[in-house]
Amino acid sequence: MLTPALARQLNALGLLAISAALAFAYYDQFFGGDLPCPLCLLQRVALTAVGFGLLMNVVHGPRPRHYGFMLLAACFGAAVASRQVLLHIVPGTGSYGAPFLGLHFYTWALVLFCLVILGSAILLLMDRQFERTETAPGRFSALPVLGKVAVTAIIVLAAANTVTTFAECGPIECADDPTNYWILGGEPLPAAAR
Amino acid sequence: MTTLIFALLTAAFWVAATGRARPASLLFALALAVGLVWFNHHMTDPLAISL
């Protein structure tokens, strides 16, 4: 039985998983030297947007509308990831970035968005969580520790992405194949640093 | 432009965490709409990537 309280805890864990994926993207950016391309950044946007539905479930209680937010964001992310997979699907057309466990990040992103769609659909089948038997926290200060950690993590990562995306792309548009941060003048990084 | 989308999402998170669900939902919808416009831009422009 998926009670509202259990659903909120599951959503908090999902929010931590999304935060972990975004943090890993940062690890690859800063320690692997892979600057995210425009489509990569849009996939991060979609992943962050999936987090919005999860956060709403954690803070305001589980509702079908919140799963709808997640489904919309995941469909958007799957479309962006598919676009990037299709750009490189023909043998000999190269790839973007280094592979991780045999797959490139955009392929992993497509897998992840499909899992979000599947998970949301399954959770939507469990009606008991939508019963108004408990009062949702409604705001950050009333959340349990797990909820506070999860919400803080996604807000910090979304804010950090705002700053680093501006540093990389500037106010308008990112380079298709970025080699350095816009804020550093856009000159390519030395090969050893990439 | 991508910065704007992240900024809108950050604002949506903040507003949702402070208890205002409806304004947060509107910010989320706006972020998704701008994201779709920007995705359309990147789907249709000639990419200068090394294929």
Mean pLDDT over A138-157 rounds to: 93
- Using one digit for the tens of pLDDT, what is the confidence trace for A64-79? 999 999 999 999 999 9
The CATH number linked to A118 is: 1.20.1550.10
Question: For A169, which of B2, B10, B28 is closest by C-beta distance?
Answer: B2
Q: Show which residues on chain B lie within 8 Å of chain A, measured between beta carbons.
A: 1-3, 5-7, 9-10, 12-14, 16-19, 21, 24-25, 28, 31-32, 35-36, 38-39, 42-43, 47-51
Between CA B5 and CA B27 the distance in angstroms is 10
A161 touches chain B (CB under 8 A): yes
User: Can you list the positions of beta strands (E) in B1-51?
Assistant: none
A55 touches chain B (CB under 8 A): yes
pLDDT > 90? residue A62: yes
Residues of the domain holding A158:
4-193
Lowest-pLDDT range of A113-117, A121-125, A160-164, A177-181: A177-181
A102 touches chain B (CB under 8 A): no
pLDDT > 80? residue A151: yes
Q: Which residues pair with A100 in a beta bridge?
A: A103
pLDDT > 90? residue A59: yes
C-alpha distances in angstroms, A163 versus A44, A114, A168, B4?
A: 14, 28, 9, 10
Is 0.80 topped by the overall pTM? Answer: yes
For residue A70, count CB atoms less than 10 angstroms from its CB and return exposed for 0-12, middle for 13-18, buried for 19 or more: buried
Between CA A64 and CA A53 the distance in angstroms is 10
pLDDT > 80? residue A85: yes
Token pair of A20, please?
């972990």
Residue at A65: amino acid letter: R
Between CA A154 and CA A152 the distance in angstroms is 6
Q: Which of B5, B18, B44 to mutate to test the interface with A (most CBs of A within 10 A)?
A: B5
Reference A15, options A51, A48, A40; nearest CA is: A51
Helices (H), A32-63: 38-60
Q: What percent of chain A has pLDDT over 70?
A: 95
Contact A85, A60 (CB under 8 A): no
Token pair of A105, please?
């990040």
Distance (Å) from the alpha carbon of A189 to chain B's nearest alpha carbon: 17
Phi and psi at residue A36, in whole multiples of 5°?
-70, 135
- Using one digit for the tens of pLDDT, what is the confidence trace for B1-51? 899 999 999 999 999 999 999 999 999 999 999 999 999 988 886 655 555
- Distance from first CA to last CA of chain A, Å, rounded? 49
Domain count along chain A: 1
Give residue for tokens 């995306």: A165
Helix (H, G, I), strand (E, B) or coil at A103: strand
